[in-house]
C-alpha cells in the first residue's frame, strides 16, 4: 500500500499552485526539522545544513507543480533534501573529516562482526545521557559509507518506514533492510567503546532485554 | 531451529524491527536467553537506536525556522512578484 499526501496537504498544494503562495509556509512547517536533520546527518555542518534546508524548501516551491499526490509530501521533500545533501557533499563544501573511516569498511553482502562486549550489563544508563556520546554518534553517522548512511538517516533518524525509504532513495525494500542492518552494526561497533563508563550504577539484569528499553522506544 | 551466534547477529535488525517470522523469532529468543554475548550485542545496538532517536542528538540551530521562512518569503516574492 502506498502512502499518499494527506487531504489537507493536497488542498494546501492546490491553493499554493493557484496563486496563494503564502500558504507554502504552512505546507512545509511540519517538515522543517525533517529536512534540516536529513541534510545535517549527512554533512555534519550546521551552516551547510541550514543553507541546504533553505535551498530544499525553495526548490520544493519551485517544483511544486511536479509533485504527484501518489507519494507522501514528506517523502518528496526528503528526496529533494537528499539530493541537496549529495550535491553539497560532492562539491566538498562540507568538511568531510575523520579518523573513523578506517574502521568503517564497506562490506555490503560480506561478512561482519559486531563489537562484542560481554560486560554490557555494567554500563549505566547515565552513559546514554552524555553529550560526548551524542557527538560520537553524529560523527559515526557522518562517516558511514554513503549508501549505508542514507538508509540509516531515513529509517532511524527520520523514522520513515521501509517503503518510504526505498521510494526516497530509488532502491528496493530488500536493499533498504540489508543496508540498514549493516549501518547499525557499523555504528554499534564504533560506539561500544564510548559506552563504557567509570561510574558504577548498574542496570538490573532483568530490565536489560525487552522491558525497559523497549519502553523507551515506543 | 538452532542458531549459532553469527546467525543471530544477522537477525539483530530484524529482531529490533519486529520483522522476524515466528519460527525464527522463537529461535533467536531462545538463543538470547542463554547467550550473554548476543544479548550484549542486541542491547548495545538497541542503545545506539535509542540514542539516535533522542531529540537532543540532532538539534535545530537557534533561529533556524525564522531564517528559513524569511528566505522563503524573499524567494517566493522574487519568483512570483
Q: Tell me, yes or no, whether A208 and A189 share the same domain.
A: yes
Residue among B44, B53, B76 minimizing CB distance to A120: B44
Q: Tell me, yes or no, whether A62 and A116 share the same domain.
A: no
Task: Enumerate residues 144 to 163 of chain A having a beta carbon within 8 A of any beta carbon in chain B.
Answer: 156-157, 159
The pLDDT of A103-132, averaged and rounded, is 58
The pLDDT of A184-205, averaged and rounded, is 65
Residue A110 to residue B22: CA distance in whole angstroms: 26
Identify whether the C-beta of residue A65 lies closer than 8 Å to the C-beta of residue A17: yes
Provide the number of structural domains found in chain A.
2
Cα A140 to chain centroid distance, Å, stands at: 12
Query: What Rg do the C-alpha atoms of chain A give, in angstroms?
Result: 20
> What local confidence, expressed as pLDDT, does residue A92 receive?
76
Among B43, B37, B44, B29, which residue's Cα sits nearest to residue A209? B43
> What local confidence, expressed as pLDDT, does residue A125 receive?
58
Residues in chain A with CB shorter than 8 Å from the CB of B43 are 120, 208-209, 213
> What local confidence, expressed as pLDDT, does residue A148 receive?
95
> What local confidence, expressed as pLDDT, does residue A179 receive?
96
Q: Which residue has the higher pLDDT, B66 or A100?
A: B66
The pLDDT of A154-162, averaged and rounded, is 92
The pLDDT of A155-183, averaged and rounded, is 94
Residue A69: inside a domain, yes or no? yes
Q: Tell me, yes or no, whether A17 and A124 share the same domain.
A: no
pLDDT of A122 higher than 70: no
pLDDT of A118 higher than 70: no
pLDDT of A155 higher than 60: yes
Q: What is the pLDDT of residues A40-79, one digit of tens each?
A: 998 889 999 999 999 999 999 999 999 987 778 988 999 9
The pLDDT of A161-167, averaged and rounded, is 93
Window from A105-109, A132-136, A149-153, B40-44 with minimum mean pLDDT: A105-109
* DSSP secondary structure string for all residues of B42-70: HHHHHHHHHHHH-TTTS-PPTTHHHHHHH
Q: Which residues contact A200 (CB under 8 A, 6 or more apart)?
A: A124
> What local confidence, expressed as pLDDT, does residue B26 receive?
96
Provide the number of structural domains found in chain B.
1
**Closest approach of A70 to chain B, Cα-based (Å):** 25
Mean of the per-residue pLDDT values for chain A? 78
Residue among A37, A50, A208 minimizing CB distance to B58: A37
Half-sphere exposure of B36 (CA within 13 A, CB side): 7
List the domain range (segments joined by +) for residue A51: 7-91
Q: What is the pLDDT of residues A16-47, one digit of tens each?
A: 999 999 999 999 999 999 999 999 998 889 99
Residue A174 grid coordinates: 530488500
Residue that is written with C-alpha cell 549529495 in the block:
A86
Q: Which of A71, A91, A111 is the last residue of a domain?
A: A91
Which chain A residue is nearest to residue B39, measuring alpha carbons?
Answer: A209
DSSP 8-state code for residue A116: P
Q: Which of A58, A91, A124 is the last residue of a domain?
A: A91
Rounded to 10 deg, the angle between the A73-91 and A32-43 helix axes is 30
Which chain A residue is nearest to residue B11, measuring alpha carbons?
Answer: A181
pLDDT of A109 higher than 70: no
Say whether pTM exceeds 0.80: no
Cβ <8 Å between A188 and B48? yes
Residue A127: inside a domain, yes or no? yes
Q: Tell me, yes or no, whether A163 and A128 share the same domain.
A: yes
Residue A33 to residue A28: CA distance in whole angstroms: 10
Cβ <8 Å between B52 and A156? yes
Q: What is the pLDDT of residues B43-79, one digit of tens each?
A: 889 989 988 988 888 989 999 999 999 999 999 988 7
pLDDT of A208 higher than 50: no
Residue A134: inside a domain, yes or no? yes
Cβ <8 Å between B76 and A116? no
pLDDT of A217 higher than 70: no
Identify whether the C-beta of residue B25 lies closer than 8 Å to the C-beta of residue B15: yes
Cβ <8 Å between B14 and A181? yes
Cβ <8 Å between A217 and B50? yes
Band of residue A157 on the pLDDT scale cut at 50, 70, 90:
very high
Q: Which of A52, A71, A91 is the last residue of a domain?
A: A91
Question: Which of B4, B44, B67 would you mutate first to test chain A, the one with the most A CBs within 10 A?
Answer: B44
Q: Tell me, yes or no, whether A59 and A78 share the same domain.
A: yes
Among B37, B57, B5, B63, which residue's Cα sits nearest to residue A152? B57
> What local confidence, expressed as pLDDT, does residue A124 receive?
56
> What local confidence, expressed as pLDDT, does residue A71 receive?
78
Amino acid at each position: 500500500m502506498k502512502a499518499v499526501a494527506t487531504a489537507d496537504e493536497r488542498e494546501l498544494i492546490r491553493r499554493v499552485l493557484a496563486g496563494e503562495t503564502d500558504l507554502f509556509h504552512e505546507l512545509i512547517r511540519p517538515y522543517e526539522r525533517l529536512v534540516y536533520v536529513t541534510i545535517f546527518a549527512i554533512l555534519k555542518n550546521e551552516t551547510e545544513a541550514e543553507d541546504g534546508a533553505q535551498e530544499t524548501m525553495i526548490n520544493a516551491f519551485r517544483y511544486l507543480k511536479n509533485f504527484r499526490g501518489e507519494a507522501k509530501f514528506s517523502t518528496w521533500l526528503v528526496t529533494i533534501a537528499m539530493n541537496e545533501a549529495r550535491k553539497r557533499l560532492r562539491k566538498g563544501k562540507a568538511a568531510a573529516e575523520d579518523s573513523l573511516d578506517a574502521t568503517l569498511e564497506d562490506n555490503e553482502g560480506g561478512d561482519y562482526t559486531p563489537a562484542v562486549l560481554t560486560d554490557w550489563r555494567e554500563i549505566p544508563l547515565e552513559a546514554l545521557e552524555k553529550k560526548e556520546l551524542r557527538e560520537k554518534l553524529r560523527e559515526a553517522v557522518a562517516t558511514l559509507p554513503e549508501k549505508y548512511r542514507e538508509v540509516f538517516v531515513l529509517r532511524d533518524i527520520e523514522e520513515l518506514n521501509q517503503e518510504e525509504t526505498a521510494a526516497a532513495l530509488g532502491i528496493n525494500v530488500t536493499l533498504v533492510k540489508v543496508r540498514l542492518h549493516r549501518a547499525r552494526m557499523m555504528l554499534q561497533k564504533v560506539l561500544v567503546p564510548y559506552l563504557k563508563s567509570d561510574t558504577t550504577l548498574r542496570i538490573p539484569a532483568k530490565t536489560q532485554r525487552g522491558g525497559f528499553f523497549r519502553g523507551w522506544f515506543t | 531451529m538452532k542458531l549459532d551466534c553469527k546467525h543471530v547477529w544477522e537477525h539483530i535488525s530484524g529482531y529490533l524491527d519486529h520483522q522476524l517470522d515466528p519460527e525464527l523469532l522463537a529461535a533467536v529468543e531462545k538463543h538470547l536467553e542463554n547467550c550473554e554475548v548476543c544479548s550484549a550485542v542486541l542491547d548495545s545496538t538497541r542503545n545506539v537506536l535509542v540514542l539516535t532517536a533522542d531529540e537532543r542528538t540532532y538539534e535545530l540551530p537557534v533561529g533556524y525556522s525564522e531564517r528559513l521562512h524569511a528566505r522563503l518569503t524573499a524567494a517566493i516574492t522574487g519568483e512570483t512578484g
